[in-house]
Structures are given as C-alpha cells and as structure tokens.
Chain A
Amino acid sequence: MWGRFIDVFRRRRLDADLDSQLAHHLDALEAEYRTHGLAPGDARAAARRDMGGLTQVRDAYRDQHGVPVFETVWRNIRFAVRASRRTPGLTATIVFTLALGIGANSAVFSAIDTVLLRPLSFPDADQLVRVIQTQDGARDTWIASLRLEDWNRLSSSFAAITGYSVEDASDTTGDLPVRVRRARVSPRFVQVWGVAPAAGRGFTDAEHRLGASPVALISDRYWRNRFGADPSVLGKSVRLSGRPYAIVGVMPISFRFPERDVDIWSPEVVNSPYTRRQFQTYIGVGRLKPGVSLTQARADLARVQTELAEQYPDTDRQIGTRVEPLKETMIGGARGTLSLLFAAVSVLLLIACTNIAALLLSRAARREQEIAVRYALGATRAAVLLQLLTEVGVLALAGAAAGVFVSLAVSAGFRVLAPDLPRLGEAGLDARMLLYMMALAVLAALVCGLFPAVRSSRGAAALAGTGRAHVSARHPLLWCLVGVQVALSVTLLASAGLLLRSFDKLSRVDPAFDSRHVLTFHVSGSYDEVRDYDRVVQRIHRTLDELTTLPGVAAAATSASLPGVGHRNPAEFHLVEGRAASEPAMVAEWRNVSPSYFETTRIPVLAGERCQPKPLGAVRAGSTIDVMVNRSFADTYLPGRSPVGLHLATNASIYRAGRISGIVGDARELGIDREPVPTAYFCDSIPSPFPWFLVRTIGQSTSVVGAVRAKLQAIEPLRSVYDVAPLDERIGDAYEQNRLRTIVISVFAVTALSLACLGVWGTLSYLVTLRRREIGLRLSLGAPRVGILSHFLGQAVRVAVIACACGLALSAVFARVLSSMLYGVSASDPATLSSVVAIVLGVAVLAALVPAARAALAEPMRILREE
C-alpha cells in the first residue's frame, strides 16, 4: 500500500516508463515479423495488432498506480467547490460566519498561548522563581540586599538567588541628559537568568565589593542607539549622574528583564558599611537546582529565614518568605480574563456552528432530489456521506482562511485595548496558530456537518415526491438548533450586560478625590543623590515652587504613588501615647505625600490643620514629621479620642514618629473599585529622589505639558521629564483588563445575537417556503391572515421563550466565573437579566416577523397557479 502511495506522486514518470517499455515491446515484435519475411509496413501493422489497444493498456496501468481514495477525495472536493458556487449567498454566509467564529477563537487562543502556555524565554525557565519577602504576616515588601545574600548563602535548594532594583538614571554621556532605566543587580544576576552577555562578560565578585570602579552591562538596544553598534564598545563608558561606568558587556537582544525598558545593569555593592537590613529595595529572583520542587524550596527558604530571625531579631523577626514560579508572578490576573474570553469566544463558535448546521439542513432538504438521483445511480451511503462532509469541509477551510484576517484584526484590537497585558506583545501568527485554526476548521466541519449529512444521506430514497413527506419531521430538529443559538446568546448577552453595568457603576463612583485636570510625570533622579539628602530636598521643593508659578497651574505635589491606580503599601502602626492591649492592631495604608497633595487631589481636610513642610534639615532619618490620617483611620483605630496631636510610629519607616496634625476625607486611594481603608499620609515631599509629580491645572491637564517641560529645562537642565500622562488616563489604564473584558464580550454578545437572529429568520423563512402551497390553500379556503401570522410567529416565540429560560440557567454557571470581575452588581442582577431577556425576545420576534408576514400576505391565487 505504501508503495502505491508513493507512486501517486510520480505518476508522470511512471507513464513515461510504460511508454518506453511499450515502445520496446512494439519494436521487438516488429523486428520478429520482419525476420519472418514481412514488409516493414506490414510488420509494423502486425505488431500493433498483437499489442492491442495502447490506450486501454495505459488506462489499466494508471488504475494500478493511482490511489482510488485519493482520487475520490479530489473529485469530491472539486464537486464541493462547484456546488458552493451554485449557491453563492449561502456559501458566503457560511464562510463569513465560520471566519468570525474561527478567527475570534484563534485570536483569543493565541493570546492564551503566548501569555499563559508558553514558557518564558530563558533557558530552563521552569526553574526560575520569584523569592518574595512578606512582612507582618501579610504584605509583600521589597528585600534588603544583605538578606538576599544571606538567603543565597544559607539555602540549599537554589542554584543561586539574586535580586535587582530598578530606577531611573540620567545619562549624561551625550550633550543632553537622557533618562535611562537602570537596574542595580545583586551578585549572580547573569547566572540566575542563564543568559550570557552577547559580548563581553558578566560582573565579577570583586565588582560587587566596596572600592571597585563602577562597571555596567548595557542592552542591545542601547548599544545600537547610543553607540551605533560600535564593535569596540567594551571598555568605553557611560556617564550616569556624572559618574563614568565602564562597559564590560552587551546583553543579547532578547534579554529584556526585569523590565522591557531597562538599558543598563550595574552591580550592587554588597559590603558597604552603610547598608542596613532595613534598607529594603530589592526584588528577589532565584533559580532552583534541577529536580528541586517548589515545596522543597519553600520549606528550605522558610528554614533559612527562621535562622535569620534568631540572629537578627530586630529586623528579621517579622519577616516571612514565599517562593512562586516566575511566570505566574508575571502573568498576574490575566489568567482569569483570558479564560473568560476563551469561554465566551468558544460559545460564539458553537453558535456559529449551530447556525451553519441549520443552514445546511435546509439546504440538504432542497437537495433531496439530487441525493436521490445519486442513490438511484448506485452510489453507496458512505459515498454520499463523504461527499456531503467534503462540502462542509471545503466551506470550513475557506472559513478558516478568511478567519486568519479576522484573527489578525481581533489581535490588533487586543493590543489597543490592553497594551499592558503581560507578554501579549510576543503574540503573533505562526505555524502553531495556523495548525490550531486548521484543527478548529476540521472540528467545526464535523460539528456542523456531520448531523445534516447523516440525516440527508438517510431518508432520500424516494426519487419522486420530494419535500412534502419530510417537512413535518424536520421541524423539531431545526427549531432545536435555533433554540441552542438563542440560549447561548442569552448567556453571552447576560455576561456582557453584567460587565457593562459594573463598568458603568465603576465610572459613577465618587472616588472622593478629583482626578480630572491633574497631570502626572516623573523628573529623573537617582538614589546616588541621597548622599546629600538636603540637596535633594532643596531641589524637589524648588521644582514644586516653580511649577506652582506656571500660568494655568493651580497646585503641585509629590507623592510616592498615584491615587486610584491600585498601589498597596500597608504597614502596622503604633500609637506613641499608647493604646489598650485589647484594641486591634493599627494596620493601615501608608503613603508619603507632600503637604500640597491634599489640595492637588482635592481631598478635603476635615479636622485639624493641613500638615506643614518641615524646614530644611529637619526631614531626615529619626526626626519627627507631620502625619494626616483619613477619617476611617480615626474612626476605626482612635474612636472617642481626638487624633490631632497624637503620635504615630512604625517599624517600616525611617522616621521615629509622626505627629497627627489633621484628618482628611476617605479617598479611594487603592482603586476606584475599592472601598477606602484606614490610611496614614506622612507629609514627606521626598519619598525618593524621583517621586511622582502631580500638577492640578485650571484647564485641560495636557495643555501645560509644554510649559512644564520648558520650566524644568530652565531650572534643571541635566534632568529629563518623562512618563507624562493625565491622572484620569492612568486610572483608566489600571482598569485595562476590565475594559478589555467588557468591550470584547459585548462585541461577542452582539455578534452572537445577530447570528441567533439570522438563525430564527432563516429557519422560519425556510419553513414558510416549504409550506407555501399549504398556506395558499388555507388562505383561499378563507383562513384569516392574522391566524397565519400568529401561527408562524407563535412557533418562533415559543422556541425563543424556552431558549431564554435555558440561557438564563446557563448564565448562572457563567456567572460563577464572572462574579469576581464584577463591581457593584450581583451576578444574578434581576434588572440586567430581565432586560437581556426582553432584548433577546424582542429581537427574535422582529426576526420572525418578516417571514411570518410574508406568509400571511401571500397571494393565494398566484401560489396555487404556480403548481
């Protein structure tokens, strides 16, 4: 059989082979006749006569070297293409529907594949883990570099543990300062990733020690942009904040970690006498030893930290550890969103298939005669079945081909709607995706083709009397398919409705701060500047003062984090004046803001006074500072006391204590969808050398961008202004996945509803056409037109009502997935669900009305004459 298969692909050569063998044969015979004394012409003729019909020989030979199944399939395909061309409208509808279903499905699958399924692009990426420090039992905090060294030294399940902290630096190599992202890295950084520099080397241990001259690794991008891909870049240097760093290596183009835009990596000095275990600025990454499980690593690190807690009770007692796969920590909440979208898009594909199945069923009915002729001419049932399936297969493949474009469009839509979805940028159309689409096409062909094909290959024995006998039998099946479509679209529509409602609720929430007309940005700075702390304070205060003088600017503030974008920073506080031991621990959000923060964000001061900026020199480690607490802090932790004048302290702060100078309103700092929690605002304008700047403008916030840039160029010529965006926009971006879900599911739901309508309309039209004669007869016998109308309409409505009930039951299942993504609306919100049902019923009635009216308004005489 295999030899036969191969011969299919060399049929031309085989034919030529045969011809030359036959020629040899003929010549030999002719020669023989001539030796018997025949004249040349007669000898040739005799030889030919002996050979018989050469054409028959060739045909018989060809039969042997072809594979019949192959040729049947090919013939079926050609026939299918011809058949689909005969009904262009139906073909276009089916291909379009499938293209939508398959394209959307594979776009979502492509996102899932890239974001969730594929490993990170590092060698043995499944060994990479994030090592996390937890403090006070709950919150994740950054890690002191000293502790990272201890973990690495004392643990036994890690090949290596390293860490990094990312900051902005001002690159002063060229004439103008440019902001670059720089990662300070712990020893073993290159080793943990398993990625060697493309040129040069990684850092040596000596370079992590005090007194080493500063060195740096640069990114491929930086090498190309700043050094024009200079091959002799090693040994040259970059100037960061005025210090030259010798370049020891260039990382490969694919290495973009810890953040996409990091261009420079430089070694952290681990034995500096100034380093403290309280200086927690690092994020930990580790590589597990081969064969070590997560559980083992967790237990190992927990043991190490217990030892450290005994050794350094002051700093390490409250600290716990976690170990998570690096990929999981990078994906974050995207898993839920993508799963929801995939479920929705699969439902959509199912609707599309059902729709097509109904269309094919009605087409099959019209082709009954053709099929009957085939049987009469001796076709076997298998042959007819294969033919019908091939037709669907061809349509499905065409649909998948068109689906490629739909998929590309949907993917582009994703990128616009969710630019920050982790790893989505890596997604693209590749062989895997094409394979997936092919598989979907085959599946779709089977799902929507098998049933109609089996059905129509069965009954069509009768050559005459087509149609009438089978009409009544086919109703329930057709309506069942329509019902499935309606039910599924109710489910999708209900999900979309709930998401839209919660989106709407979210946009109506009063966050208790005013995010409109606020411009936010960074001004580059570096932790290096902290050596001369007073200068940093002076600089930032002067920048704030100068910003406030700009026309169009009402107020300017600094803050460690932005309000409303979900940045959490909880800490436990103590009251210096003392509280009863029975009272709950004071766990609250801890924010560092400049005093002007409250007028800039319009958070009202309710009691006491707004905090005052400290005079120069007073704001430094160990000093006292003003604190504002919000109302819920005062109500929760200090009920019945006057908070103003009391003092708050925390382990996590460098300040000895803060004096509460006033109470402010409860703002939704943690996110628009989160209830305000107790919060303490430490009035420190300089939480870092590069805090967020917030500027309240009188008009459009973007209108002052030029002025802000010009002013900073004037007062800080060596610094760059970057990451400029209105606060509104940032808050919107924080809800990007919410927006993605809502928009995409709404689009899917509307598509589903349109398909279901098409189903109702198509099915009813088909039934009306089949029963044309009967309708004509009834009308001519005096049946009222209203009766006919209500008969057909009633059919559709009955199905729609039952389908709506099933759809609602189904949405209850869907709602379980959805409920965690809703805000301010329950998953069984009666208002939403009832309006969804009303919409679906209304649209279904409209779709049914057209064919029903056509039936009712028919001219009985014309119809009867047609026969």
Chain B
Amino acid sequence: MSREVLQGTLDLMVLRTLDAMGPQHGLGLARRILQVSEGILNLNQGTLYPALLRLEQRRWIRSRWGISENNRKAKFYELTARGRKQIGEETESWESTVSLMAKFLARPTGGE
C-alpha cells in the first residue's frame, strides 16, 4: 500500500489510537499505527505532523510538553472531549462509506 493515506482516514486512525493508548508523542503514534497496520502504513513525518496540527486546530486533540520514556522533552498529544465525540461520528461515516463501497464491489455492473 502506498504511503499516501486518505486524509479523513488518517484523522480517524490518529484519534482512535489516542483513544486506545492515552497521551502519546508523535513518534509513538507513528509506531503504533505502523504496528496496528502490520507494517503497511509507515507514516511520513510530513503527513503526520501537519495532521496533528490540523486536529489540534479543530480542538479534537490537545498537546503539552512532557518527558518521553527515553528521558527527552517531547510533545504529548491527547484526546479532547470533542475529539472523543468526533470518533463516534467519523466511525459512523466511515462505516457507511465502507458498506456503500462494498455494495459496488460485490456486484460489478457491466463487464469486459
């Protein structure tokens, strides 16, 4: 799979990951997403950090400086109440998209 990810899906992945793991720094998030996707989704930093900033601007996550496990200053991101609500909405819309796409893929119209 390519490194390009659909914007909406990345948002949902980040939110969901934060929801599951609690506050995380950028690297941790990238690792976790890589792990969950079983090595398929190796996020580019140029994708991850703008996405985090975007989510912060929408007030779905917030950030503060903290100390990472290897004793370094790192920025930790965590979910806000708004973000938690958003997960519900995004999940719903994603599921409807998936089921819609599934219908198309199950019954291909026309043929070669």
User: Which of B16-24, B67-75, B84-92 participates in binding chain A?
Assistant: B67-75
Contact with B along A24-36 (1 / 0, CB 8 A): 1101110100000
Contacts of B68 in A (CB 8 A): 24, 28
Chain A residues with CB under 8 A of B72: 24, 27-28
| B9 on the A face (CB < 8 A) | no
- Interface size bucket, A side? 20 to 34
Segment at the interface with B among A14-22, A195-203, A803-811: A14-22
Asked if B49 is at the interface of the complex by the 8 Å CB criterion, the answer is yes
Say if the beta carbon of B57 comes within 8 Å of chain A: yes
The reply to whether the CB of B110 lies closer than 8 angstroms to some CB of chain A is no
Q: Which residues of B contact A18 (CB under 8 A)?
A: 49
B45 and A64 contacting across the interface, CB-CB below 8 Å:
no
Q: Which of A21, A28, A59, A60 contacts B75 (CB 8 A)?
A: A21
Q: Which residues of A contact B70 (CB under 8 A)?
A: 27-28, 31
Instruction: From known contacts A52-B44, A63-B50, infer whether A24 and B57 are also in contact, taking CB-CB under 8 Å.
Output: no
Q: Is the CB of A64 within 8 A of B54?
A: yes
Are B57 and A3 in contact, with the CB atoms below 8 A? yes
Interface string of B31-56 (1 = CB under 8 A from A): 00000000000001111011001101
Known contacts A24-B72, A24-B73, A64-B53; is-contact A3 B46 (Cβ 8 Å): no
With CB as the reference atom, state the residue of chain A lying closest to B45: A57
Residues in B with CB closer than 8 Å to A329 are none
Tell me the minimal C-beta distance from A367 to chain B in angstroms: 38
Tell yes or no: A209 within 8 A of B by CB: no
A4 interface residue (CB < 8 Å to B): yes
Q: Does A256 contact B (CB under 8 A)?
A: no
B10 smallest CB distance to A (angstroms): 13
The distance in angstroms between the C-alpha atoms of A4 and B45, with both chains bound, is: 20
Chain B residues within an 8 Å CB radius of A656: none
CB of A24 within 8 A of CB of B25, answer yes
Q: Is A405 an interface residue (CB 8 A)?
A: no
> Is A327 interfacial (CB-CB < 8 Å)?
no
Flag if B49 contacts A57 (CB, 8 Å). Answer: yes
- Across the interface, B50 reaches (CB within 8 A) one of A24, A53, A61, namely A61
On chain B, the residues within 8 Å of A14 by CB distance are 53
Checking B27, B45, B59, B75 against A17 with a beta-carbon cut-off of 8 angstroms, the contacting residue is: B75
- Complex formed: what's the CA distance from A24 to B46 in Å? 15
Determine whether the beta carbon of B25 is less than 8 Å from that of A65: no
Q: How far is the CA of A57 from the CA of B26 in the complex (A)?
A: 13
Query: Contacts A3-B58, A4-B57 known; A52 to B75 CB distance under 8 Å?
Result: no
Are B27 and A64 in contact, with the CB atoms below 8 A?
no
B74 contacts A24, C-beta separation under 8 Å: yes
Q: Please, which residue of chain B has its CB at the minimum distance from the CB of A5?
A: B57
B27 near A24 with CB under 8 A, answer yes
Whole-angstrom distance between the Cβ of A371 and the nearest chain B Cβ: 34
Contacts of A31 in B (CB 8 A): 70
Give A59 to B47 CA distance when docked, in angstroms: 11
Q: Are B73 and A52 in contact (CB under 8 A)?
A: no
Knowing A51-B45, A52-B44, A52-B45 touch, does A25 contact B27 (C-beta < 8 A)? Answer: yes
Closest partner residue, chain B, to A31 (CB atom) = B70
Q: Quick one: closest A residue to B74, CB to CB? A: A24
Cβ of A113 under 8 Å from chain B = no
Interface residues of A in 33-88 (CB under 8 A from B): 51-54, 56-57, 59-61, 63-65
Complex CA gap A59/B46 in Å reads: 8
- Judge whether A599 is part of the interface by a CB distance below 8 angstroms: no
Which residues from chain A contact B74 at a C-beta distance below 8 Å?
A: 21, 24
CA separation between A54 and B44, bound complex, in Å? 10
A316 at the interface (CB under 8 A from B): no
Q: Is A7 an interface residue (CB 8 A)?
A: yes
CA A755 to CA B24, docked complex, whole Å = 69
Determine the main DSSP class of A at the interface with B. helix
Shortest CB-to-CB span from B50 to chain A, Å, is: 4
Residues A61 and B46 in contact in the complex (CB < 8 Å), given A21-B26, A28-B27: yes
The interface residues of chain B lying within 8 Å CB-to-CB of A25 are: 26-27, 45
The answer to whether B53 touches A65 (Cβ under 8 A) is yes
On chain A, the residues within 8 Å of B73 by CB distance are 20, 24
Bound complex: CA A29 to CA B42 (Å): 14
Q: How far is the CB of A51 from chain B (nearest CB, A)?
A: 6
Residue among A56, A59, A60 with the highest chain B CB neighbour number at 10 A:
A60
Chain A residue nearest to B49 in the complex (CB): A61
A53: chain B residues within 8 A (beta carbon): 46
Instruction: Write the nearest CB–CB distance from A36 to chain B, whole angstroms.
Output: 15
Question: Closest residue of chain A to B59, judged by CB?
Answer: A3
A7: chain B residues within 8 A (beta carbon): 53, 57
Q: Which of A451-503 contact B (CB under 8 A)?
A: none
What are the residues of chain B within 8 A of A20 when measuring CB–CB?
73, 75
State the CA gap A21–B28 with chains docked (Å).
12
The answer to whether A60 and B50 touch across the interface, beta carbons within 8 angstroms, is yes
Q: Tell me how far the C-beta of B60 lies from the nearest C-beta in chain A, rounded to whole angstroms.
A: 10
User: Cβ of B44: which chain A residues have Cβ within 8 Å of it?
Assistant: 52, 57
Chain B residues, CB < 8 A from A57: 44-46, 49
**How far in angstroms is the closest Cβ of chain B from A46?**
14
Contact indicator B58/A60 (Cβ below 8 Å):
no
In contact, B53 and A61 (Cβ under 8 angstroms): yes
Tell whether, in the assembled complex, residue A52 and residue B49 are in contact, meaning their CB atoms are under 8 Å apart.
no
> Which residues of the partner chain B approach A61 to less than 8 Å between Cβ atoms?
46, 49-50, 53
Q: What is the chain A residue whose CB lies nearest that of B63?
A: A17
Q: Which residue on B lies nearest to A28, using beta carbons?
A: B27
Q: Are A21 and B49 in contact (CB under 8 A)?
A: yes
Nearest Cβ in chain B — how far from A1, in angstroms?
Answer: 8
In the bound complex, residues from chain A placing their C-beta under 8 Å from that of B56 are 3
- Using Cβ atoms and an 8 Å threshold, which residues of chain B touch A27? 70, 72
Q: How far is the CA of A17 from the CA of B56 in the complex (A)?
A: 13
Known: A3-B56, A21-B75. A52 touches B26 (CB 8 A): no
Residues of chain A lying within 8 A (CB to CB) of residue B75: 17, 20-21, 24
**Cα of A14 to Cα of B50 in the assembled complex, Å:** 11
Which residue of chain B is the closest to A60 with respect to CB atoms?
Answer: B46
Expressed in whole angstroms, the Cα–Cα distance for A856 and B66 within the complex equals 83
Residue of B nearest to A54 (CB): B45
CB-CB under 8 A from B54, the residues of chain A are 64
On whether the beta carbons of A22 and B57 are closer than 8 Å, the reply is no
Which of chain A's residues has its CB closest to B75's CB? A21
**A25 to B: closest C-beta gap in Å:** 5
CB distance from A586 to the nearest CB of B (A): 87
Write the chain B residue with the least CB distance to A17: B75
Residue among A14, A17, A64 with most chain B CB within 10 A: A64
Chain B, 3-22, contact with A by CB distance < 8 Å: what is the 0/1 string? 00000000000000000000
Tell me how far the C-beta of A452 lies from the nearest C-beta in chain B, rounded to whole angstroms.
39
Q: How far is the CA of A577 from the CA of B50 in the complex (A)?
A: 107
Q: How far is A17 from B75 in the complex, measured between Cα atoms in Å?
A: 8
CA distance A18 to B53 in the complex (A): 10
A-chain residues with CB within 8 Å of residue B45 when the two chains form the complex: 22, 25, 51-52, 54, 57
Q: How many Å lie between the Cα of A28 and that of B69 in the bound state? A: 10
Q: Is the CB of A64 within 8 A of B50?
A: yes
> Which residues of chain A have C-beta atoms less than 8 A from B53's C-beta?
7, 14, 61, 64-65
CA distance A261 to B58 in the complex (A): 63
A286-324 interface code vs B (CB 8 A; 1 in, 0 out)? 000000000000000000000000000000000000000
Known pairs A31-B70, A52-B45, A61-B46; list 11 more (Cβ under 8 Å).
A3-B57, A4-B57, A20-B75, A21-B75, A24-B74, A24-B75, A25-B45, A28-B68, A29-B27, A57-B45, A60-B50
Mind listing 29 A-B residue pairs with CB under 8 Å?
A3-B56, A3-B57, A3-B58, A4-B57, A14-B53, A17-B75, A20-B75, A21-B26, A21-B49, A21-B74, A21-B75, A22-B49, A24-B25, A24-B72, A24-B73, A24-B74, A27-B70, A31-B70, A51-B45, A53-B46, A56-B46, A59-B46, A60-B46, A60-B50, A61-B49, A64-B50, A64-B53, A64-B54, A65-B57
Interface residues, chain B, with chain A CB atoms under 8 Å away: 25-27, 44-47, 49-50, 53-54, 56-59, 68, 70, 72-75
Closest 9 pairs between A and B when the two form their complex, measured CB to CB: A3-B57, A64-B50, A57-B46, A60-B46, A57-B45, A24-B74, A60-B50, A64-B53, A25-B27
